[in-house]
Structure 1
Amino acid sequence: MTRIRFILPIFLPLIVASITLHAQEDTALTAQLQPLIQVHHGHVALYAHDISSGKTVAINADTPVPTASVIKLTVLFEALKQIQEGKAHFDDKVALTKANQVEGSGVLMFFDAPQTLTLKDVLTMMIIVSDNTATNVAIDYLGLKNIDDRIQWLGLKDTWLYKKVSLPPVGPMPADQKQFGLGKTTAREMAGVMERFATCNLNAPGSTAKPTAQDQQLCDAAMHMLKNQFYRNSIPRYLETLDTTEGESKIANKTGALNQVRNDVGVVFDKNGPVVISEFTYDNQDESWTPDNQAEVLMAKLAKIIIDRWQ
């Protein structure tokens, strides 16, 4: 009995915390989303977090998935950290070279090279139009190893940027690189990256320090890019009506797409506060590049259901 009395005060807070965490999982919402996911011709991983209430929904949220261009969020985060630490600046001059010009999304592949751009210009292009060439320029400037080291610093276990976009990997690669291509992540881990932008958390994991004025300026710049992101067929598709102003959208997001992959990770600033939604679909049968691609529409419907319920 004495031993029980001694142990109980130590473990009781952990037990209560575990119960509270479990209670935050919106099981009714999960049940509402599952029928749509089950009829999709492909695989779906989803995680959403209502930051204000603490509610979450998770479906295959810890399954490693191909990132496509969503991995560019980690490049943006590393840029903010290097600027915060004084190692880089938005107005730094970076070189656009022919070696980094690759096909796919973006416009810098059509520019005459070589020429000089600013780091902020490159990051803006990387996010707003998911410019692949701009991404390669940013990776060269920031350092691929630095980006992956930062991913580990964040405590992410299943997220990795393997290489530059549309170029072969350099050096020894993990065995799963061929499976995932550009990068891998999970719906939960990438939601955590997006949440850091939404809450302006540039601190080391576990820190409760409030953002400084400089931090807030950096986060505002990143959110400005994300809110003006060009591809709006998934999370924002049925939610843009939330934006009734002539200013920026109330939805910040970053998409990623390959023939059999459609992803979108965003934060919706609804009337009750920000909601992070992280959606990944892969092995999709519908490989069409139209706004009505089955996976694009599915992600839009899932996002609408989540926001409608949590509002």
Structure 2
Amino acid sequence: MTKDQPGGQPGDQPCDQHSTGSRAPRPGSSGRAARARIADAFADAGVSGLLHARDLDGPAELAIGADTPVATASVHKLCLLTTLFREAAAGRIDLTRQVEVPAAGRTGGPTGLAAMLDPARLSLRDLAYLATAVSDNAAADLLWDELGLDLVNRTMADLGLTRTVAVHRLRDLLAVLAEDRAGGSPVDPAVVARLRVLDPAATNRSTPRELTELLTAIWHDRACRGEHGAALRRLLGLQVWPHRLASGFPFDDVRVYGKTGTLPTLRHEVGVVEYPDGGRYAVAVFTRAAATSMTLPAADAVIGTAARLAVDALRGSR
């Protein structure tokens, strides 16, 4: 999958310092105002957007089309990694086991092993790092081969996420993408219109609400317990891309954990934002751009803007 490069900070930050309950409107008006501002931000950025945000330690949530199915792209690596660490926590997988990675036959992509030329040997947990931190398709497919689609789907079902389904590995997704392109440009609107990987019914899929529920399970050690849950959270905090979710929270003392996903016209990120006062919020933002250009900084940045507006509203309801 193509990874967008960082495109700057949101042009309209909701505020220039940490949001606090004393500064925010009442919960009801805050939620309505936030949804209106988020809708305006999506429109200004030239995207349609879906969002779900929830307080990890309370009942507050904010939803915009949160139960609408979405094509997850590389966000589905979060489901893969959850399954890997859950299996390790159950004693069925040794995360330190070494895997040989031949130079030939790797799944393509612009980062990590997918872009490297020589044979390598890595542990399962280091493959998980590459799949998370730089969204390495080759590393992720080695893990998909280790676990299988059925096990990942069963794990999601066991966690109550019945609408979160993987139907193909990344190499198969890329093969479908290449077949539908038929040599055409990925920025040609006629080509984009026929891409099955953009259709949730035909590809890996979930909903914004189910993905914040998955993040909640990870943060509350329901997905995998103890050291394995902590290890999974650590990986999500090592993602290198600053131009989407993290761009909405430009503070040294606010931690942002996330996983991006990108396909033609699609830009997504799901993650958790932790404030120094103990506030913790899961956010899932999925967008589709009207323009087919690969480089759309505003479409990346609005993910951070929308997330910030949502989190500010949740903090106002505490």
- Alignment pair present for 1:73 and 2:78: yes
Q: CA deviation at 1:272?
A: 4.1
After superposition, the Cα gap between the structure-2 partners of 1:103 and 1:81, relative to the gap in structure 1 and judged at 3 Å, is same
Partners of 1:97 and 1:285 in 2: how far apart? 38
1:191 alignment counterpart: 212
- Offset from partner CA, 1:209-241 (integer Å, 9 cap, x none): xxxxxx221111111111110111111103131
- Deviation, 1:112, is 4.7
Of 253, 258, 280, the residue aligned with 1:274 is 280
Q: 1:310 to 1:152 in 2, by over 3 A?
A: closer
> Does 2:251 align with 1:251?
no
In structure 1, list runs of 5 or more residues that go unmatched: 1-21, 170-175, 204-214
Change (3 A) 1:47 1:297: same
Task: Tell me if 1:58 matches 2:63.
Answer: yes
Identical-residue share of aligned pairs (%)? 24
Counterpart Cα distance in 2 of 1:310 and 1:151? 26
Residue among 93, 110, 118 paired with 2:98: 93
Give the conservation status (yes or no) of the 8 Å contact 1:286–1:295.
no
Question: What is the CA-CA distance between 1:40 and the residue it aligns to?
Answer: 4.5
**Counterpart residue number, 1:239:** 249
* C-alpha contact 2:198 2:263 (8 A) present in aligned 1: no
Call closer, same or farther: CA 1:189–1:105 in 2, change over 3 Å.
farther
In 2 relative to 1, CA 136–309 (structure 1 residues): closer, same or farther, beyond 3 Å? Answer: same
Q: Confirm or deny: 8 A CA contact 1:27 1:57 kept in the other structure.
A: no
Output the aligned Cα RMSD: 2.6
Q: TM-score, normalised by structure 2?
A: 0.76
Rg comparison, structure with higher value: 1
194 and 284 in structure 1: CA distance in 2 versus 1, 3 angstrom threshold:
farther
Are residue 219 (structure 1) and residue 219 (structure 2) matched? no
Instruction: Give the deviation of 1:39 after TM superposition.
Output: 4.4
3-state secondary structure, aligned to 2:308: helix
Distance 1:179 1:161 in 2: 13
Structure 2, unpaired ranges of 5+: 1-26, 177-195
Q: What residue is the counterpart of 1:27 in the other structure?
A: 32
Number of equivalenced pairs: 266
The aligned counterpart of 2:306 is 302
SS of 2:53 mapped into structure 1: strand
The answer to whether residue 170 in structure 2 is matched with residue 165 in structure 1 is: yes
Which segment drifts farther, 77-86 or 110-119? 110-119
* C-alpha spacing 1:284/1:159, structure 2 compared with 1 (3 Å): farther
Larger relative CO (CA 8 A, sep 6+): 1 or 2?
2
Q: Distance in 2 between matches of 1:105 and 1:52?
A: 37
